[in-house]
Amino acid sequence: MVSIKDKIVLITGASSGIGAACAHVFAREGAALILAARRFERLQSVAEKLQRTFNSKINLLKMDVSDRTQVESILSSLPAPWHEVDILINNAGLSRGLDKLYEGDIQDWEEMIDTNIKGLLYITRFLVPGMVSRGRGHIVNLGSIAGHQTYTGGNVYCATKAAVRALSEGLKLDLLGTPIRVSSVDPGLVETEFSQVRFRGDNRRAAKVYQGMNPLTAEDVAEIVLFCATRPPHVNLSEILVLPTDQSSATMVDRKN
């Protein structure tokens, strides 16, 4: 395992779920964190806990990745040395609804496309040139099994994750000849607020997604992100599809009740 102590790690969507779990494991390994999210109070409570436990250096950004002007102005005002991001974890993302495409809510589509694709692009476009000029860096994108297999009602969400997959591949191609690494970590069912967000707070419907099966936890995924980031410099884990043992495809899930 290569040390990431004092490396600067920027995590989007860090106020909860996989983002907050990544913050925890990277703080545990001694990284300096830039945590970004829209929900600033939740971000503060994540940061306070990490500072208490690991005495971490943390910079918080109240940022909506889908707002290009905001992304550019906030990232350009990062003080030295914080702007020298070593590891970018593009985690911010969401799903909205499971409607048939021809009945879908266009506002839901905009939100998913703006966050999952355009948000990832804005941050990446801003930070990767610095990585190239410094000759070091790693981008880890959070994809999904939904980018590999489309499921009923998944239409636009699946399309955004297929786009993330294509963007990870495209970025790796474009960075060939540099030492910058690109990884895509693509989980199946992970029990986070993901389904509550998808179903807009319908907790019963959200709970059914994980009913009778043993889903991944945010921590399971965060440890895999850390594993990608701590390989020797010549090792690029390009794509990792990670499923719960109780899941074998986007739609095949073994439920005990």
Positions in the binding site for ligand 8X3 (CB under 6 A) = 144-146, 188-189, 194, 250
At its nearest, how many Å lie between ligand 8X3 and the CB of residue 4?
26
Q: Are 63 and 36 in contact (CB under 8 A)?
A: yes
Closest CB to ligand 8X3: residue number:
144
Closest CA to 91 of 159, 33, 142, 140: 142
Q: In one letter, which amino acid is 62?
A: K
Give the gyration radius of the chain's Cα atoms: 18
CB-wise, 9 or 145, nearer to ligand 8X3? Answer: 145
The bridge status of strand 58-62 relative to strand 32-37 is: parallel
CA-CA distance, 122 to 63, in Å (whole number)?
12
- What residues contact 77, with CB distance under 8 A and at least 6 apart? none
- Catalytic annotation, residues: 157
Looking at beta carbons only, is 88 or 189 nearer to ligand 8X3? 189
Q: Given the complex with ligand 8X3, which of 56 and 90 has the nearer CB atom?
A: 90
